[in-house]
Amino acid sequence: MTRLITMAAVLLFAAPAAAEGQLLEAQKQLNAESARAAQAEEYDKAALLLRSSLELGELNITWLNLGRVLFKGGRCLEARDAYKKALTAPEAPNPPPVVVQRTAAEFLAELSTACPGTLALECPLSYEVYIDGEPAQCGAKAELPAGPHTVRARHEGWEVTRTVDVTGVELTTLSVDVRTGALVPEPEPFRPPEPVPAASPNYLGWSLVGAGTILLATGGLYRWSYQDDIDEIRAISRTDGGSRARYDDLTRRIESGDAVVVTAFALGLALAATGVGVIWFRGPPEAGIQVRVVPTGVFVSY
């Protein structure tokens, strides 16, 4: 921007009388306003003022300054056209024409790296195409920053990767043929994990059978725990007065234990029988498993 303002100042305020005679007063005013707008980074306003000046009369330095404010405003294609016209427009004596020519050439070269360019892909629409990892489409044009870019195409197991240099404000065309690449295996399609099956309709039945079996086993173990008392009471004579108290104590303990065992057996059998009923009524038993209620409990066979 400093370069632009310097040239404008040279033209407007330091030009010799002959050069001043080539500028109308309106042009001088427009050029001065454009320089102030450019300094304030009001590039669209500066460009509009310079275009108005050019309508009154063309000069190479005016076209050069117009190209610069257009470039600063992000309008690269318009800036390129303005720079090219600076090379052929009527020459102002100051700055010297050779300076304007050299500067315009430098600014034109700068566009090729500082401005985005366009990449056109020539390939069948059925190709799966990516530019720098982003999805793209054959036959379409993509605006990209100047510089190298990676193009990857894939179709029917074939894949090719190409690197292309995009030039700013230019159209770059790339022909893509996957058959020039390598045959790669297709990626495995995504398969969601198998859903966890809902609880089997026999879940409740088996739970009841299990609970009943536990109660039956508990009752049997408890019954075994006071077997010694039963054996002892059988050895005691009812007429032995010295052992009467012991006999009565053992009797109470055995009767109490039998009550617990009977209750456990009754509840266990009831739960097991209910579970078996649920299994049979809510669904057939699993293959290879048989359940039978026997006098001593529940019998499960595989």
Q: Quick check: is 190 in a domain?
A: no
> Is 152 or 8 the better-scoring residue by pLDDT?
152
Q: Quick check: is 193 in a domain?
A: no
pLDDT of residue 51 exceeding 80, the answer is: yes
Whether residue 167 is found in the same domain as residue 240: no
Q: Quick check: is 194 in a domain?
A: no
Q: Quick check: is 99 in a domain?
A: yes
Whether residue 268 is found in the same domain as residue 164: no
Q: Report which residue type is found at 194.
A: E
Q: What is the CATH number of the domain that holds 78?
A: 1.25.40.10
pLDDT at 15: 35
Whether residue 65 is found in the same domain as residue 79: yes
Question: CA-CA distances (angstroms) from residue 131 to 65, 180, 181, 236, 288?
Answer: 36, 18, 16, 101, 59
pLDDT digits (tens, 9 = 90+) for 26-49: 988 999 999 999 999 999 999 999
pLDDT of residue 16 exceeding 50, the answer is: no
Whether residue 242 is found in the same domain as residue 174: no
Lowest mean pLDDT across 55-59, 139-143, 150-154, 208-212: 208-212
Whether residue 224 is found in the same domain as residue 163: no
Q: Quick check: is 45 in a domain?
A: yes
The number of folded domains in the chain is 3
Torsion of CA 257, 260, 266, 268, to 10 degrees: -110
Whether residue 277 is found in the same domain as residue 209: yes
pLDDT at 13: 32
User: At CB < 8 A and 24+ separation, what contacts does 62-68 make?
Assistant: 62/11, 62/27, 62/31, 62/89, 63/89, 64/7, 64/100, 64/103, 64/104, 64/107, 65/4, 65/7, 65/8, 65/31, 65/34, 65/38, 67/104, 67/107, 68/1, 68/3, 68/4, 68/38, 68/107
pTM above 0.85, yes or no: no
> Is 257 or 27 the better-scoring residue by pLDDT?
27
Whether residue 91 is found in the same domain as residue 144: no
Whether residue 33 is found in the same domain as residue 85: yes
Domain of 221, in residue numbers: 203-301
Question: CA-CA distances (angstroms) from residue 181 to 23, 155, 223?
Answer: 62, 11, 82
Whether residue 129 is found in the same domain as residue 222: no
Domain boundary pick from 71, 92, 114: 114
Q: Quick check: is 192 in a domain?
A: no
In the chain, helix, strand, coil percent, each to 5? 55, 15, 25
pLDDT digits (tens, 9 = 90+) for 261-281: 788 778 777 877 887 777 766
CA atoms within 13 A of residue 239's CA, in its CB half-sphere? 0
Q: Quick check: is 273 in a domain?
A: yes
Whether residue 40 is found in the same domain as residue 140: no
